[in-house]
């Protein structure tokens, strides 16, 4: 049985680097003219850099290498030319770096927007299967890795390639025999780089996944901090994190330790080439084939030639890391979205609230059915209570009513319309929901209550708050309805958060309500008050109530008793009590 430390141990297969690179380049397509201009500037910058060694060689030749009279005017002339070339080159390089930084910032903004838009279209099942921390890691860390690569490494690659090509051309112009030294070392460097690239790419993929797993665990532990403290499980959590952190550290070490060998190895190959140039250059000088100025220029060009190759070897590691991160982002963008509305799907308008489920079967995992041939009928204005033990399938029924999932067999109808023939947006807007897991966001109390109703007035918000029995609490706060709630409502109690969500549902005027243990976090006295207010607001609306405290649903028009995905009993409270069956035993167990 795998332990916590086994999270993220699965090694990914080698990735499609070319396909990922093509997708990154698509984001740059919008800025292709800017990139083209910056490329020209980078080319001009490198031309300046390449002219420098030539001017230096001519200055050395003019100096006569210590023989005869030195023409200082010519030496200073070439020295000034070299200084101007390097200054212009530096200014253009600065321009290129600033331009690519701006482009990468816009690309990052576009990628994050695409990812966030994608998240809004993914089915609920995706979030059930993936940790929130891993999703956040893809949106933040992985996108940052990609854009950092664009802003720095891409520029470096462009300039390095231009420098390598230009240096090689200049070396050929100076002395073809000396170039043979480079023809020995260049293939060695290329073959070694390709070999190491194949080895490091899967390691960087593993590193990105390990960091995503670690972020998911950290997010999970932070959200459950109170539970950890309540059970005094701090040591256990630290041990689990230590194992996951160790896995992430191992992945980082394996990737970077191998990647870091590339720079020194390429440097050794380049130094080997430089040594050969020195030996052959000395021989050619003695044979009068080259002068000292040419040798000096050739050596400088060889350094310019070999330096970028060394840099490219190091940058390749960062590029592989960026490609691995980009693939994680693109995999998310390729996730199947919710099934699109069918062509010509109707919009639910003026909903009455007649709901019916016919022979519905469903399972979250293929081959594991949760609901079996379930039938349910709710007439307009009726309150349907759904009860049963944990795991019986109560919340699954709600997921199907809201079409968070589609049924495997059977059909669900609203006002006689099969819900797959209507738009999801209009279907979900027909319901108001209050869940046991309350959700509030960082903002004012007014904004939280008015969340579901655009343009809600203060009077409407106050009326909903009064109905939910939270108005008096709000008025005791220093800023009333303008009081800002911290993220996830950390500065208010769970009961108050639940009352806020109840007020939100009351304000969101719909013909159908879903209440999933809507009063589970309030005290008994407040619960009675809220139940009274909710009964008034539920009047004339079709309501689906999931309840564990059976005393709260005695007035329901119909009670469905669900067990292991089957409706084993249904009827009113009195009818079910008379049957002395499953519901009777559930009810009796709560009052024994």
Delineate the domains of the chain, giving CATH numbers in brackets.
Answer: 98-333 (1.20.1560.10), 348-430+511-592 (3.40.50.300), 440-509 (3.40.50.300)
Phi, psi of 134 (to 5 degrees): -70, -40
Phi, psi of 412 (to 5 degrees): -120, 135
Predicted confidence at residue 223, as pLDDT, reads: 62
Predicted confidence at residue 247, as pLDDT, reads: 79
Evaluate the CA torsion angle 122, 125, 130, 131 in order and state its sign: positive
Predicted confidence at residue 413, as pLDDT, reads: 93
Q: What is the mean pLDDT of each run of 10 residues along the chain (592 residues)?
A: 35 56 81 83 78 71 57 75 83 84 84 86 81 77 80 74 78 77 73 73 72 71 63 73 79 72 72 73 73 73 70 70 82 84 86 89 84 87 86 84 89 92 88 78 84 82 85 86 73 77 82 78 66 70 82 82 85 88 83 61
Instruction: Name the strand (E) or helix (H) holding 417.
Output: strand 417-418
Strands (E), 439-578: 443-444, 484-485, 512-516, 542-546, 558-563, 566-571
CA-based nearest residue to 23, from 337, 336, 326: 326
Instruction: Name the strand (E) or helix (H) holding 93.
Output: helix 72-121
CA-based nearest residue to 320, from 265, 264, 256: 256
C-alpha 131/C-alpha 470 separation (Å) is: 34
C-alpha 402/C-alpha 381 separation (Å) is: 18
Predicted confidence at residue 14, as pLDDT, reads: 32
Q: Which residues contact 196 (CB under 8 A, 6 or more apart)?
A: 258, 259, 261, 262, 265, 313, 316
Instruction: Name the strand (E) or helix (H) holding 375.
Output: strand 371-378
Residues in the chain: 592
- Residue 367's alpha-carbon distances to 335, 364, 399, 563, 580, in angstroms, are 22, 9, 19, 19, 34
Nearest-5° Cα angle at 28, 24 to 34: 155
Predicted confidence at residue 263, as pLDDT, reads: 67
Instruction: Name the strand (E) or helix (H) holding 358.
Output: strand 355-362
According to DSSP, residue 15 is labeled P
Mutual angle of helices 292-333 and 17-28, in 10-degree steps: 90
Decide: 380 and 352 in contact? Cβ < 8 Å.
yes
C-alpha 64/C-alpha 291 separation (Å) is: 10
Provide the total of helices (H) and of strands (E) in the chain, helices listed first: 21, 12
Predicted confidence at residue 414, as pLDDT, reads: 92
C-alpha 275/C-alpha 314 separation (Å) is: 22
């Amino acid at each position: 049985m795998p332990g916590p430390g086994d999270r993220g141990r699965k090694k990914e297969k080698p990735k499609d680097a070319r396909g990922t690179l093509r997708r990154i380049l698509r984001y740059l397509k919008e800025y292709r003219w800017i990139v083209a201009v910056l490329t020209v500037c980078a080319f001009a910058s490198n031309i300046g850099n390449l002219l420098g060694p030539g001017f230096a060689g001519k200055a050395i030749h003019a100096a006569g290498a210590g023989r005869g009279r030195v023409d200082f005017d010519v030496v200073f002339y070439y020295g000034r030319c070299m200084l101007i070339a390097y200054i212009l080159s530096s200014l253009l390089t600065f321009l290129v770096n600033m331009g690519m930084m701006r482009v990468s910032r816009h690309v990052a903004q576009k990628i994050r927007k695409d990812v966030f838009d994608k998240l809004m279209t993914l089915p609920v099942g995706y979030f059930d299967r993936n940790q929130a921390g891993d999703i956040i890691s893809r949106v933040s860390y992985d996108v940052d890795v990609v854009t950092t690569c664009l802003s720095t490494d891409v520029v470096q690659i462009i300039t390095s390639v231009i420098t390598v090509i230009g240096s090689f051309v200049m070396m050929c112009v100076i002395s073809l025999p000396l170039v043979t030294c480079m023809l020995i070392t260049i293939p060695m460097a290329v073959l070694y780089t390709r070999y190491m690239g194949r080895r490091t790419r899967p390691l960087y993929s593993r590193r990105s996944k390990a960091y995503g797993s670690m972020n998911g665990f950290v997010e999970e532990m932070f959200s459950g901090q109170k539970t950890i403290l309540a059970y005094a499980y701090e040591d256990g959590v630290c041990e689990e994190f230590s194992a996951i952190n160790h896995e992430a550290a191992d992945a980082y070490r394996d990737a970077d330790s191998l990647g870091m060998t590339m720079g020194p190895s390429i440097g050794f190959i380049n130094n080997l080439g430089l040594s050969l140039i020195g030996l052959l250059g000395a021989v050619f000088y003695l044979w009068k084939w080259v002068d000292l100025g040419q040798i000096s220029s050739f050596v400088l060009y060889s350094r310019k030639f070999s330096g970028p190759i060394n840099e490219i070897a190091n940058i390749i590691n960062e590029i592989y890391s960026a490609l691995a991160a980009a693939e994680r982002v693109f995999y998310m963008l390729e996730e199947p979205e919710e099934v699109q509305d069918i062509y010509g799907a109707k919009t639910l308008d003026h909903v009455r609230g007649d709901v019916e489920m016919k022979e519905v079967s469903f399972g979250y995992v293929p081959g594991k059915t949760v609901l079996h041939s379930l039938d349910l009928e709710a007439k307009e204005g009726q309150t349907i209570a759904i009860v049963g033990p944990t795991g019986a399938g109560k919340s699954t029924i709600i997921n199907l009513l809201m079409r968070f999932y589609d049924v495997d067999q059977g059909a669900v109808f609203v006002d006689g319309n099969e819900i797959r023939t209507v738009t999801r947006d209009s279907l979900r807007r027909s319901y108001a929901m209050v869940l046991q897991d309350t959700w509030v966001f960082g903002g004012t109390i007014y904004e939280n209550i008015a969340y579901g109703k655009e343009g809600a007035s203060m009077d409407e918000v106050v009326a909903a708050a009064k109905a939910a029995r939270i108005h008096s609490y709000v008025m005791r706060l220093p800023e009333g309805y303008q009081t800002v709630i911290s993220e996830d409502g950390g500065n208010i109690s769970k009961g108050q958060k639940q009352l806020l969500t109840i007020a939100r549902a009351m304000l969101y005027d719909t013909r159908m309500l879903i209440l999933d243990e809507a009063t589970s976090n309030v005290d008994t006295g407040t619960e009675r008050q809220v139940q009274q207010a909710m009964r008034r607001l539920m009047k004339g609306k079709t309501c689906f109530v999931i309840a564990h405290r059976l005393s709260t649903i005695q007035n329901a028009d119909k009670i469905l008793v669900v067990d292991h995905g089957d409706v084993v009993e249904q009827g009113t409270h009195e009818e079910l009590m008379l049957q002395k069956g499953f519901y009777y035993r559930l009810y009796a167990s709560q009052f024994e």
